[in-house]
Structure 1
């Protein structure tokens, strides 16, 4: 068997196989994991790998056991954060084991090494990791086991290999395997720039580059500009029919930006995607546990419901998400209505699927499905500090596992299989940990470890063509015609910090254990950079100057190349700017000429004040059964086109659901508390109302305003606890002084006025001493009373005028006013029995209602004729009916969601 070994070859490599262009039948290019797997299988040492989360949990138990008899160097850290401590100490142990450490070899070891030996010898036995398997393989080979590996080629010199792997290579050579270095590429023409670069790297002899295109250093302001430039260059190369492969080095393993540019030009995608633990289905495990703690965070539940594949049918998850965005809590009115809608739809689907099904059987099926889905929203059962019993945590893991298995249904979906593996690993880790209860911090750390490896994008695949990609310079172990080094910018060393003191290192070396210091790992990494350049027959370096908005540091290898690149005789041919492609039609670049043509500029659509409505939409506007609300009437009078789009066409603002901000939560909470604090009949004493409000508020918080219970909202919660009861107590005192009594809260009123049918829910309806009705509209506003005072004074209080007429449709208009909860002020027109603060008005509510009916009828008729008028666009008044009493406000577009459709210049 012929193997090529490189320490970075467990990912993509180039060439993909040993043996040159002819290849070989029994050969492979392998990294540490691949080589160890082949050797362990041949030696009969293979077996299932134990997930790291299980090993760390077991090691934490060993640290705890070793620390019971005497204090250890990890004792304080283990008490503070057991998981992080166990993970760190286990990583040190694995590095030592890989280098040849044994707890029984050291004589009179330093304190830390003695403590580590005590942990290693304590129970239980830690499951075998890669370092343990490496030592087993080395021991077995040294014991004379047959290996049957004919040739092992090394991409790096053996002295640059980590100590354990160097010992493995030596053992294989002793066992009869031929071990040699991979032959390095020698340039065909040493007179070329790439040849001069190779001579410089090998000997240090500096000969100025001439700019023949074999070495090019491309800089770009942004990665997007760099991707466009590289894709154009590759497209030109493709048209020229150049022979040989082009290898793209993508150091961060993410080729998505470059792939998009390649796809636009019909070129094959590289298909490199970094592993991520934040892919949709993987989040189900962490979110399930995040929802188990109290206080409940509704935003986490919203994230769960809005996943691409939620743990219930998508329509059901979206129904619950809408309720949660409206009232962020569990068990409130919106939440209950959402479950009623879900059950009704489930029952309908069940009966439709089998028309002959018994109603009792259908109800049982619906109940089973409902209960299974409700289990995912059974929240806040455990205190974060007290922790969660381990059996309960295992139940959560199994629920996630069963969901993933059921959803996969044998389809072998990589993402769902990863969820299954993570759930099983976490279950095993909880068993291995042996703790109950398990704290929230411990579980969070365990979940992070269980899904730490993540998964690449399952939909990202390399496409066939002459393009190849590697995610590390060390993955380019053989000759390549052209090498594009993407994102050739600075990065910190990947070498781990060397944690051992000189005394400890001396003791380890005396026992035959030589852990690799960081400088050796840095030398190996630098050798990978140099090898990538030496294996290239043409080198194209791509350097974006900005990285996520900040200036990118230069790559360490670029500092080595700088003296050569800086002395180029034909500098523009060696160093180029990507932005030239955006201003020049012909750009010479890396031995190619990129030709681009100018595009014809197209003006964006401009705002229009008058729109021709589709006939179907105009017909819907003629529906005589539609009922307007106070809000829809206000929209119609404010902007006729907005009314058409929102209330006739039924358009709503797009985007994902989100948890309301505190100000909106205060308003929702105040309205709900008012329903509990006020009862129909005489108004009680202000202190009684206050006490009712305090009691009701505590009960309503987790139902409709749960975010206020989170630790980060302590200030807002204190504000709500004080301000809402105070506001309602103040309102009760004002109404009591006026002799009013409560008739109803959140009362539905509906009436047909002939020209318009109106239906609205009114916050508070009261009766005065004369037995006449009055309306109080509750408002929570942070901006103060100015806007509402202006509406009353200018006769534009459309909502109040509508409510006023709805409660007394046949008699005189009822008095109405705004109660500003935050400011504790009751605003009404002068001479009104509600007027705690009298406001002089140019038009009373009764007259305002007459104007509303008149203007709304004329504007609705305009829509019925097929015309829509965007009131915020200049020139709209020319298309509106003449002599409208309620002319549009200049700020009509400030809070409108439809400005992208009408293209109003006022947007933003």
Structure 2
């Protein structure tokens, strides 16, 4: 067997397609695994997270107050273990034998750790190579010929010992001589960069072309079109990062994909264990809970998660009335399905309502491990029913779960009983290795491509180096000069930064020197800085041909890209549709009346008809994940719920009339904490203590103030959150009255509770637009069949004030008398007129759109005896991007 071996050859192969037998190209991982198999050496199968856990155990056993890593290890054992593992791997690959040399304290500490690690830690690459080199002294492999794709002097010492034992030849393209067509810019560039300090201006003949672009997508599509027109043979593409963008451009151009991968730790399947474990902490994080419920895959079926997600978005927490209603709905629907064995309620309790633990003191390892293994069992069951593309992702997720379980078992064996949240997060990060996209694969006949320039060792007509981006600088070695001297005296070869930079430059020059006809470099302006190779070319060989890709594409009259020959037919400019004040629907599209309306829907119909159509007829709504309630909306909900709980147990003056301040405060202290847990858990998160105290103080003051207003108004009975419904000639109306009060004369008072915005409510009442109060008053009057209308008022939580038309009921109210002097009954009559006006428009297929960039016309003017319409668009319009974009903006 002939093996072509390179340090960067584990990825894509840019070599020309040839028909061979018994020849293979391998990188370090592939060759090491092949040699271990041939020589009968045991493979290393440990997950990376398990490797960190093993070495952490060794560090812990060797740790004392004198070790150099002691302080950092106490704070971040996972990070320290990973970093020292890297040091250990570098040393072994450089020729370390695991023993101390000299009197350097840190080297002595590492040697002390190695006394444990030699037996217990996972062998690193250097150790495995040492075992291979030892086995090669007495055994043979099936490798007949080894061809190096890198300079043997650039190989780490452990690798050099192995390839020396096998015997090797060096590929001619590793140290290429200039090969470009004579008297071309490319030939001049090759000759100049091959020398140390020479400079030579170029003539701009196009054999060296630099494309400047703003967008990766645009540049990738332009190059893909160029390759498609000029052919795939004789060209090599270099894309060191984001090659998947280029593959998509090839696909859009009808060309085969090269097989670039986009690896990510955030595949949906691999996120499930992390989300499940994040629910173990107290207090529960509603956003994590909502992510778990809305995730594409989860241990609970979607039919169960959907109603719970809606409840959490509305009332962020677990256990509130909305949550209980969702649970009841789930139990009913599951009973109708006839589900047996474990009930959904049991599964919900396990995944969502299991015991929770304080983040600082940590969760018991047994509880974490049990949950991790439960995830693995669910993944195993799912893997059996998914397709072949998803099967690999499930296998990887199962491996992550088992690696995490193994790490937890080792912590338990080391005497740890609990794991704090920060440490568990680090363990999860270690286990969550990046996974490839199973749908991204190379297609037959693709363009030669690579992710590393050093792999271009064969002569090629044209090199397309896409996204030539700035490179990170070589970091200084983390060891002192005396430590490096001690390591060197022990035979450990660790190349200094200058040597590593020299090797990187040789890697960058390799495709350039192996190029025969044209070198195309694509540079994106969005990058800060420039690639060192481009900087060297600009300095030593100015005058190369350049092309501004974006400017050329946008220039009028250009039908082809210069130097590339890619046709650029002009496309008509299609500006975004400007907003229109009216939508006119064709006759066959009906806008039917809804059988049931509420105040919210009626207010949209009267003021912003397009929102009524889109929300209630088209059923368009914002996504739940982006709509978890917080701030004013959440605070108002909490106040409503607390008032409801209070008046459920204190409905009459005899119950609340004699409460002292101490009694009220005790009741609030007992109920507020439970309320925050069940419906306001976002306020229990770290960093929200100030908000939580603010809300608690405001609600406490508001309840005390409300009771004072009730005393002053001689209220006898209070009902909260009263559901009502009544039949109107045009629709059925339903609503929930926040507070329904009854005084000694049996007069009804409807009070709507608002968190804030007292000045707005005053202006609204003065303008005769307090439609919400009129709606609730009509509902209560109709439900009871009474002739008199209930008295309307607002209660503002943040100020503790009642806003009312007069002081006939509440002596201490903030008075906002309607300017027209109309009663609430007359306001409702105007609302009925407005309803008929809007309904007639909809029946004719006309929908008014009061959006930015539009002006009202004659059709926008309401009837004289109807409600007035607000000026300007709705500040809370969820559909403003669907109504058009004003060109002036």
Partner of 1:127: 122
Partner of 2:621: 652
Q: Which whole-Å CA distance do the structure 1 matches of 2:845 and 2:549 have between them?
A: 54
Are the equivalent residues in 1 in contact too, given 2:293–2:305 (CA < 8 A)?
yes
Partner of 1:375: 350
Are the equivalent residues in 2 in contact too, given 1:37–1:46 (CA < 8 A)?
no
Residue 687 of structure 2 aligns to a residue in which SS?
Answer: helix
Among 651, 655, 668, the alignment partner of 1:680 is 651
Q: Which whole-Å CA distance do the structure 1 matches of 2:116 and 2:253 have between them?
A: 61
Matches within 5 A, 1:393-792: 393-409=368-384, 411-412=387-388, 413-433=391-411, 434=413, 435-451=416-432, 453-493=433-473, 497-537=476-516, 538-547=518-527, 552-568=528-544, 573-586=545-558, 591-613=563-585, 618=590, 620-621=592-593, 626-654=595-623, 656-678=625-647, 679-682=650-653, 683-684=656-657, 685=659, 687=661, 688-781=663-756, 784-792=757-765
Q: Which whole-Å CA distance do the structure 2 matches of 1:767 and 1:187 have between them?
A: 98
TM-superposed CA distance for 1:720, in Å, is 1.3
Residue 147 of structure 2 aligns to a residue in which SS?
Answer: strand
Q: Which whole-Å CA distance do the structure 2 matches of 1:772 and 1:258 have between them?
A: 74
Q: From the superposition, tell whether residues 592 and 635 of structure 1 become closer, same or farther in structure 2 (CA, over 3 Å).
A: closer
Are the equivalent residues in 2 in contact too, given 1:196–1:207 (CA < 8 A)?
yes
Relative to the length of structure 2, the TM-score reads 0.92
Residue 600 of structure 1 aligns to a residue in which SS?
Answer: coil
TM-superposed CA distance for 1:592, in Å, is 3.0
Partner of 1:192: 184
Q: Which whole-Å CA distance do the structure 2 matches of 1:859 and 1:587 have between them?
A: 52
TM-superposed CA distance for 1:575, in Å, is 4.9
TM-superposed CA distance for 1:714, in Å, is 1.1
Matches within 5 A, 1:310-329: 310-329=298-317
Q: From the superposition, tell whether residues 33 and 243 of structure 1 become closer, same or farther in structure 2 (CA, over 3 Å).
A: closer
Residue 711 of structure 1 aligns to a residue in which SS?
Answer: coil
Q: Which whole-Å CA distance do the structure 1 matches of 2:369 and 2:629 have between them?
A: 33
TM-superposed CA distance for 1:895, in Å, is 2.0
Q: From the superposition, tell whether residues 171 and 518 of structure 1 become closer, same or farther in structure 2 (CA, over 3 Å).
A: farther
Among 817, 826, 835, the alignment partner of 2:793 is 817
Partner of 2:53: 57
Point out where structure 1 has 5 or more consecutive residues left out of the alignment. Answer: 351-361
Matches within 5 A, 1:71-220: 71-104=66-99, 106-122=100-116, 125-141=120-136, 143-173=137-167, 177-178=168-169, 182=173, 184=176, 186-187=178-179, 189-203=181-195, 205-220=198-213
TM-superposed CA distance for 1:901, in Å, is 4.1
Q: From the superposition, tell whether residues 689 and 98 of structure 1 become closer, same or farther in structure 2 (CA, over 3 Å).
A: same
Are the equivalent residues in 2 in contact too, given 1:611–1:869 (CA < 8 A)?
yes
Q: Which whole-Å CA distance do the structure 1 matches of 2:456 and 2:188 have between them?
A: 20
Matches within 5 A, 1:865-880: 865-872=844-851, 873-878=854-859
Q: From the superposition, tell whether residues 346 and 614 of structure 1 become closer, same or farther in structure 2 (CA, over 3 Å).
A: farther
Q: Which whole-Å CA distance do the structure 1 matches of 2:171 and 2:258 have between them?
A: 31
Relative to the length of structure 1, the TM-score reads 0.90
Q: From the superposition, tell whether residues 103 and 576 of structure 1 become closer, same or farther in structure 2 (CA, over 3 Å).
A: same
Partner of 1:359: none
Partner of 1:795: 768
Are the equivalent residues in 2 in contact too, given 1:778–1:819 (CA < 8 A)?
yes
Deviation track 1:742-769 (CA, whole Å, cap 9, x = no partner) reads: 3310001122243443221000001123
Q: From the superposition, tell whether residues 754 and 344 of structure 1 become closer, same or farther in structure 2 (CA, over 3 Å).
A: same
Q: Which moved more, 1:709-718 or 1:755-764?
A: 755-764
Q: Which whole-Å CA distance do the structure 1 matches of 2:440 and 2:14 have between them?
A: 19
Q: Which whole-Å CA distance do the structure 2 matches of 1:561 and 1:380 have between them?
A: 63
Q: From the superposition, tell whether residues 459 and 831 of structure 1 become closer, same or farther in structure 2 (CA, over 3 Å).
A: same
Q: Which whole-Å CA distance do the structure 2 matches of 1:288 and 1:463 have between them?
A: 38
Q: Which whole-Å CA distance do the structure 1 matches of 2:219 and 2:66 have between them?
A: 61
Q: From the superposition, tell whether residues 616 and 728 of structure 1 become closer, same or farther in structure 2 (CA, over 3 Å).
A: farther
Are the equivalent residues in 1 in contact too, given 2:281–2:359 (CA < 8 A)?
yes
TM-superposed CA distance for 1:246, in Å, is 2.9
TM-superposed CA distance for 1:722, in Å, is 1.0
Matched, 1:248 2:248: no
Are the equivalent residues in 2 in contact too, given 1:163–1:516 (CA < 8 A)?
no
Deviation track 1:114-152 (CA, whole Å, cap 9, x = no partner) reads: 1111111137611223222111111222x2321342222
Are the equivalent residues in 2 in contact too, given 1:290–1:300 (CA < 8 A)?
yes
Q: Which moved more, 1:73-82 or 1:198-207?
A: 198-207
TM-superposed CA distance for 1:510, in Å, is 2.5
Q: From the superposition, tell whether residues 259 and 157 of structure 1 become closer, same or farther in structure 2 (CA, over 3 Å).
A: closer
Q: Which whole-Å CA distance do the structure 2 matches of 1:207 and 1:650 have between them?
A: 68
Q: From the superposition, tell whether residues 385 and 66 of structure 1 become closer, same or farther in structure 2 (CA, over 3 Å).
A: same
Q: Which whole-Å CA distance do the structure 2 matches of 1:170 and 1:603 have between them?
A: 66
Are the equivalent residues in 1 in contact too, given 2:263–2:435 (CA < 8 A)?
yes
Q: From the superposition, tell whether residues 893 and 721 of structure 1 become closer, same or farther in structure 2 (CA, over 3 Å).
A: closer
Are the equivalent residues in 2 in contact too, given 1:275–1:454 (CA < 8 A)?
yes
TM-superposed CA distance for 1:437, in Å, is 1.4
TM-superposed CA distance for 1:816, in Å, is 1.2
Q: Which whole-Å CA distance do the structure 2 matches of 1:114 and 1:336 have between them?
A: 61
Residue 352 of structure 2 aligns to a residue in which SS?
Answer: coil
Q: From the superposition, tell whether residues 57 and 907 of structure 1 become closer, same or farther in structure 2 (CA, over 3 Å).
A: farther
Q: Which moved more, 1:841-850 or 1:370-379?
A: 370-379
Are the equivalent residues in 1 in contact too, given 2:559–2:569 (CA < 8 A)?
no
Deviation track 1:589-645 (CA, whole Å, cap 9, x = no partner) reads: 674323322222335434333334466763631x6xx22212222222213333333
Partner of 1:303: 291
Are the equivalent residues in 2 in contact too, given 1:299–1:659 (CA < 8 A)?
yes
